[in-house]
Structure 1
Amino acid sequence: MKRLLVLFLMVLVLAVGFAFKAIMVTDTGGLGDKSFNDGTWAGIQKAAKELGIEAKVIMSNEQSDYIPNLTKAAQEVLKEKDGGIVFAVGFMMQDALEKVARQFPTVYFAGIDIAFEKELPNVINFLFKEQESAFLVGYIAAAMTRTGKVGFVGGIPIPPVERFRYGYEAGIKAYMDLKGKKITVIRGYTNEFSDPKKGKDLANSQFSQGVDIIFAAAGACGNGVIEAAKERSEKLAGKGYENIKNYALSGKPLYYAIGVDVDQDYMAPGIVLTSAMKGIDTAGYYGVMWAYKGQFKGGLKVLGLKENGVRTSEMKYTKEIIEKLAPGVLKELEYLKGLIIEGKIVVPDSEEALKAFTVKGVRLPR
């Protein structure tokens, strides 16, 4: 009995004494963006809860905060008996992450939407094929527009934002190729990620030009796009999901938004048609798990539809609306998704590839 008690106390001491910390340094969008930062943090929190470890956030108010915040996070991790991992969230942190990671070679780092010219052994870089999920939502937008004009609102035109745009426009081009429908895309950029008012103003400008659906890849600025679509639609249909749904099912036109990064459909039920999601939560989760379990391996990981690294939302509030107003489009979408996974359709990730993109050889199932 005494021996069992000693063993129990030893196990208890080891458990209590284990110290591992996961720290996320946000970009300037910060927590509460309901998008990029929140999505990554959700994955980190999930892993931390399962493992019983500490997770914390260091907020960046401006780009000059990136290096000092990453440095502070690395220093905190070094103090932990069992180490930890530091996350840098967003392409804008690329140079800062590379500099700090070189200064702390024994600390694990994970970069979201970040890639280096030369990989570092202590950094996992996660990139996503945003263009693949954006292709799917672009196809839906093309099928659902009543005016023949759809919009795109980007934040800063950095590579991940532009990959969203390329995919979105490719999905629209695919619909035009397959259906012979003429659709115009109106583009605009807020040139930042943290001001919803700028997103709302730009969305209202596009709506006033005849656009009826806008895809926002603009961080917290995209929240303003959703708000603009909601306000305009509620003036027509009345407030509340049931009013929106019934108005749409009656065949009357509304204004719609498309969410990004995470499932944003809940933010305006019936008005956010779908969301082009990327596995930032998955990256956050596995980054922590691999570091904690000794399975960390630095290098680049690129995640697309095939790896379930990007996807669309389940369209909980809009599936019935889409099926009624664009019959067969969701079935077509599944078929096209399969062709992308098989490599038979390669969604463009550059302007040049977008200009050359066509699916005229594809035959949709009857």
Structure 2
Amino acid sequence: MKRFLAVALLALLLTFGFSFKAIMVTDTGGLGDKSFNDGTWAGVQRAAKELGVEAKVIMSQEQSDYIPNLTKAAEEVSKEKDGGIVFAVGFMMQDALEKVAKQYPSVYFAGIDIEFGKELPNVINFLFKEQESAFLVGYVAAAMTRTGKVGFIGGIPIPPVERFRYGYEAGIKAYQDLHGKKITVIKGYTNEFSDPKKGKDLANSQFSQGADIIFAAAGACGNGVIEAAKERSEKLAGKGLDNIKKYALSGKALYYAIGVDVDQDYMAPGVVLTSAMKGVDTAGYYGVTWAFKGQFKGGLKTLGLKENGVRMSEMKYTKDIIDKLAPNVLKELEYLKGLIIEGKITVPDSEDALKAFTVKGVKLPK
């Protein structure tokens, strides 16, 4: 009899599930950006699958959609017996999230790349030390450039994008300090995040000015940067990873892109040198899990290398190329990463700090 009741209860739970809902509201980049919207959604979906709860996404076509979409999501969650959580993805949603969260104090919210002047008890604000992962890829770019010129393409120059730039330039400065190599950084902005063509056009402009490696922190615009590097490299080496690697390992110069937010190395194997990743998937996962398990605590959560909240991709397709053309650079990078985690190197997060940044006192291991 007890066994029958247990089976019946399990069947009931499987039929009706938990009355808990996780809703993600995208910024205008939307799903398919292969960047922070897709990354956050992956984390939300993973948690929802593990917990057996419902997850859905609401797409924003323009900025005027932010408040209506967040309001709609909050209304849906507030009707659930077991509650839920609403995600707002991207710095541009900051004002909308703050306004809606105040109107629905009993609903849990999570903001990605969002910080309020005053914390709200029903909102977790996830920020990331983008500058720390960008430092790592900047160091690699400095070691790998053949022309002595590298590029940076930002979307809109908002704080998360600028932290990527500060870190990237700091990594380049560190390599210059430690190796005496002169490197010029060409900078530009698409002033939006959703148009790959703008990213591609700007990348081709920077390549024409002599850059051979470009780091893009520009959302979907960065997809165009990767496409530009791929097209130029394939004209030289031929299509496919095997041809790219054979050409690069022979010592011939190619054009490279550096991915952002998530591991974008797969988008052009052998051409995407590495990616400066941040744990938007981790934020999505923990936001849902904490809300579901009653462990939600509002306030600011800042994640860096120490918390494994930012990292560099594993360079699945390019590690042997980097090892051949820039021997010891990855070993040096592991050492410098350790110094950052220990607090012995502070990667700049502002223009003034970048101007003052140096690692001239650091001794690399032999």
Name the counterpart of 1:153: 153
Structure 1 residues 275-319: Cα deviation after superposition (integer angstroms, max 9, x where no partner): 000000000000000000000000000000000000000000000
Does residue 23 in structure 1 map to residue 23 in structure 2?
yes
Does residue 76 in structure 1 map to residue 76 in structure 2?
yes
Secondary structure class of the residue paired with 1:115 = coil
Distance 2:36 2:205 in 1: 25
TM-score, reference length from structure 1? 0.98
Name the counterpart of 2:213: 213
Name the counterpart of 2:188: 188
RMSD: 0.9
Return the offset for 1:79.
Answer: 1.3
Name the counterpart of 2:45: 45
Distance 1:357 1:8 in 2: 64
Distance 1:22 1:62 in 2: 22
1:168-247 correspondence runs (5 A) = 168-247=168-247
Name the counterpart of 1:5: 4
Distance 2:233 2:18 in 1: 53
Secondary structure class of the residue paired with 2:291 = helix
User: How many pairs are equivalent?
Assistant: 365
Q: Which amino acid aligns with 1:297?
A: K
Name the counterpart of 1:284: 284
Distance 1:42 1:294 in 2: 22
Does the CA contact (< 8 Å) of 2:17 and 2:53 recur in 1?
no
Does residue 58 in structure 1 map to residue 68 in structure 2?
no
Does residue 94 in structure 1 map to residue 94 in structure 2?
yes
Return the offset for 1:12.
Answer: 3.9
Q: Which amino acid aligns with 2:8?
A: L
Does the CA contact (< 8 Å) of 2:135 and 2:171 recur in 1?
yes
Does the CA contact (< 8 Å) of 2:138 and 2:170 recur in 1?
yes
Secondary structure class of the residue paired with 1:323 = helix
Q: Which amino acid aligns with 1:31?
A: L
Q: Which amino acid aligns with 2:45?
A: Q
Return the offset for 1:6.
Answer: 3.5
Moved over 6 A (4+): none
Secondary structure class of the residue paired with 1:337 = helix
Secondary structure class of the residue paired with 1:56 = strand
Distance 1:6 1:146 in 2: 71
Identity %: 87
Distance 2:135 2:312 in 1: 10
Structure 1 residues 98-127: Cα deviation after superposition (integer angstroms, max 9, x where no partner): 000000000000000001111111000000
Name the counterpart of 1:141: 141
Distance 2:156 2:17 in 1: 44
Distance 1:52 1:18 in 2: 7
Q: Which amino acid aligns with 1:275?
A: S
Distance 1:54 1:180 in 2: 55
Distance 2:24 2:101 in 1: 14
Name the counterpart of 2:129: 129
Q: Structure 1's 7 and 269: CA in aligned 2 closer, same or farther, altered over 3 A?
A: closer
Q: Which amino acid aligns with 2:355?
A: K
1:351-366 correspondence runs (5 A) = 351-366=351-366
Q: Which amino acid aligns with 2:123?
A: V
Does residue 32 in structure 1 map to residue 23 in structure 2?
no
Q: Which amino acid aligns with 1:276?
A: A
* Unpaired stretches in structure 1, ≥5 consecutive residues: none
Does the CA contact (< 8 Å) of 2:156 and 2:218 recur in 1?
yes
Secondary structure class of the residue paired with 1:287 = helix
